[in-house]
Amino acid sequence: MFPIVVLSISGIVLLFLGFLKSRAVLLPATLACLVIATVANFYDWNKTYVYFNDMLVINNLAMVFIGIVLLSAFMVVALSGSLLDDEDAQPAEYYAIMLFSLVGAIMMIGYENLLMLFVGIEILSVAMYILTGSDKRNLRSNEAALKYFLMGAFATGILLFGMALLYGATGTFTITGIGNAVNAMIKAQTSPLLLYVGMFMLLIGMLFKVSAAPFHFWTPDVYDGSPTLFTAFMSTVVKTAGFAALLRVLLVCFNASAVYGYWVQVLTIITVLTLVIANITAVYQASFKRMMAYSSISHAGYLLIGLVGLTQQSKSAIAFYSLAYSLSTISAFGILLLVVKSRPINDALVGNQATLTRPDESYEAFNGLARQNPVLGFVMTVAMLSLAGIPLTAGFWGKFMLFSTAVDKGLVWLLVVAVLMSAVGIYYYFRVVIAMYFREGHAETIRVAPFYRFVLIAATVLTIVLGVVPGLFQRLL
């Protein structure tokens, strides 16, 4: 609960800080708020608290997920220095919206009542719609925001409908209550249609938010169109919170084997679809940013494996993977920001007025990067290795933990599919590495602010440390 309070108050304070002449104070102030929120979050460690008349239940698992979300936000904010230089940007508002959206994410992670889940998703989503469209003179950004909003509103409708049906079937909104009602129904050997329809609509609404196929069509355009910084934010924070929410509802409400048998079939198909579509499509992308959008879909697929193989192990597996994924994704986008800023706008890509400001985000933008900027090259390489799941990075253990939950449930074929798709993933992640190290280009050295550099290196070191000593994180859970 403390982080919710901290973030809400500090968001409002930041809005007022926006009136100051100097923008320089905004970034450190936001970072400080996030640090305070993180400390406040772990204040409850090893205790389970119930807040607001059974609306929120915060336990260790929730705190770990909240920690991951806050860490992701901290990194994104730390990489947001360029916002302050941009005349058109309103950094105070952006930071405030980001902090408010985190409140939504925390509600999604810690909800006990489905209403809270709904409110959380809405707070997070509305904030995302705004951030997506924040580059308001850019047509692509506007298109992305509109697309995201329309699709998101539709999905929310389905989600809400599902909740209503669940209420009709069980007479309660609390997930523990629904879980008990489900168990009672199984004992009485009734299987109300209302319950299953409601469950599937709820799941579909949430799968949309984490961009699982076939509900992923908005993702590439939205990720590609929105400013890179906010792409990094939504591809990590929304995903982590979304999976934490899915994990909680499935574990508490629908974990009984009779019900598990129902949804797992559907979810398995969705998982395979997500993995195959995302990885194969990513291969054909010419733009790095768009590739990262598909990569984000594919990681949703890997995380879904942890839900398909739902056991107690899934908790730590999903948390670990979310952390590994967030670290690498934000590092990769951080480097992209630097690279794009350092290069002149590619005239060849300018077709009409709307694309006039479109920067070069293709793989070629990375050509020769590592020769002049070995540190940036290394950071990017580790990020790509981790996303590809190569050993000695956190991504490998994340994948291993997720895969082994599926094998525990006897789904060896799913493991084979996932591993084949990881092999495909290596192909497109390594295109960046090859461009950076083995292609000619990029003679200039990119200047990086010390704190920016520090965050990138810290993320890289953490990725490697977790890759060598995964037990460090596991001891938390």
Partner 1 sequence: MLTLSLILCPIVAAIAVLFSSRETARITALVGTLVELALAAHAFYYFTANADFQYGFDYAWLFNATDGKSGIRFSGAIDGISLLPVVLTGLVTPLIVLSTFKQTYDRANSFYALILFMQSALMGVFVARDGFLFYLFFEAALIPIYFLAAMWGGENRVKVTFKFFVYTIFGSLLMLVALVYLYANTPTTTTGVHSAAIADLYALNLSQAQQGWIFWAFFIAFAIKMPVFPFHTWQPDTYVESPTPATMLLAGIMLKMGVYGLIRLLLPIVPAGVDRWGSLAITLSIIGIVYGAIIAIRQRDMKRLIAYSSFSHVGLMAAGVFSRSEMGLQGSLIQMLAHGINVVGLFFIAELILQRTGTRQLDQLGGITRNTPKLTVYFMIILLGSVALPLTNGFVGEFLLLAGIYAYNHYLGLVAGLTIIFGAVYMLRMYQKSMFGTANTRTEAIADVSSSESYTLLVLCVFVFWMGLYPASFLKLTEPAVANLLQYIK
Binding footprint of partner 1 on the chain (CB under 8 A)? 312-313, 315-317, 374, 385, 390-392, 396-397, 400, 403-404, 407-408, 412, 415-416, 419-420, 422-423, 426-427, 430, 434, 437-439, 469-471, 474-475, 477
**Shortest spacing between CB 426 and partner 1, in angstroms:** 6
Nearer Cβ to partner 1, position 176 or 313? 313
Q: How far is the CB of 86 from partner 1 (least distance, A)?
A: 36
Structure tokens at 63: 């705190």
Taking the least distance from each CB to partner 1, the nearer of 217 and 438 is 438
Q: State which residue, 204 or 291, has the beta carbon closest to partner 1.
A: 291
CB of 438 to partner 1, least distance (A): 5
Q: How far is the CB of 475 from partner 1 (least distance, A)?
A: 7
With respect to partner 1, which residue has the nearer C-beta, 230 or 397? 397
CB of 135 closer than 8 Å to CB of 226? yes
The answer to whether the beta carbons of residues 112 and 196 sit under 8 Å apart is no
Q: How far is the CB of 319 from partner 1 (least distance, A)?
A: 9
Residue carrying structure tokens 């909003």: 149
Pick 176 or 474: Cβ nearer partner 1: 474
The residue behind tokens 């806050």 is 70
Shorter beta-carbon distance to partner 1: residue 286 or 469: 469
Q: Please state the closest distance from residue 40 (CB atom) to partner 1, in A.
A: 26
Least distance to partner 1, CB of residue 279, Å: 13
Query: Minimum distance from CB of 366 to partner 1 (Å)?
Result: 14
* Cβ atoms < 10 Å from Cβ of 187: 10
Q: Which is nearer to partner 1, 98 or 305 (CB)?
A: 305
Return the number of the residue (43 or 438) whose C-beta is nearest partner 1: 438
Distance of closest approach, residue 325 Cβ to partner 1, in angstroms: 18
CB nearer to partner 1: pick between 62 and 159: 62
